[in-house]
Structure 1
Amino acid sequence: MQLLINIDVDDLERATRFYTSAFELTPGRRLGPEVIELLGGNAPIYLLAKAAGSRASPHSGQMRDYARHWTPLHLDWVVADVDAALARALAAGAILEQRQEHAWGRLALLADPFGHGFCLLQFIGRGYDEILSP
């Protein structure tokens, strides 16, 4: 099985600048005028140009809205240094919503310029294994 990540955006060029700057990704193939592939992570990311106000699905009444929104699915970017990654993301246009410290690591909760939430995660010690029972 292969995982592909697709992110709807209303401005493909702006999104490409954000994701390449914030996460040090590299543009790959341009798949027509409405899709660009970004490489450099564990899975390719495809930015998909979708107009604000367009239907999210033919079977849904929901319309695309790029204001800050909540979704039950988000991306966690595992980084070696959360402070350095946070500085890059903020400089690229991300919005910091919260920082947290846990036994397993350091976490920054953010939103991209298109309203999508994401986290920067720096594991400490044994990572998630720190919360396992001995």
Structure 2
Amino acid sequence: MAHGTARIGKDHYRTEIAVGGHSLVADEGPGLGGQNAGPAPYDLLLASLGACTAITLRMYADRKDWPLESVEVGLRLTGRREAMRIERTLTIAGLDADQQARLADIAERTPVTLTLKNGLPIDTQLV
């Protein structure tokens, strides 16, 4: 499964992330005291969902040998705390209406979608 680390020093709030053999930077915007050096944590959450959705739909279309030209996944986090929700829109090019509907159905069952919908226990240890 996936493995990663996030490290913050004295910079407010630049965080160096290493995950999947890649390096990323996360930060908060100036309104929250950061320098906007990278996406904020919720932006990264949306990026994960968007990437998983796009990749899964591409894989499905490829297996079916469908002439999928592109998928654009629009994402928006709305609400506060207990009322938070993600609005996801799909723009699919190259497929007929039935194929597009099938991909919209598949989008509801991508791995990250299911993880977010079902919740995920987090075990924290101090070392």
- TM-score tier (shorter): under 0.3
Q: Which has the higher contact order (CA 8 A, sep 6+)?
A: 1
Between Structure 1 and Structure 2, whose CA radius of gyration is higher?
Answer: 2
TM-score by length of 1: 0.25
Structure with bigger strand share is 1
TM-score (norm 2): 0.26
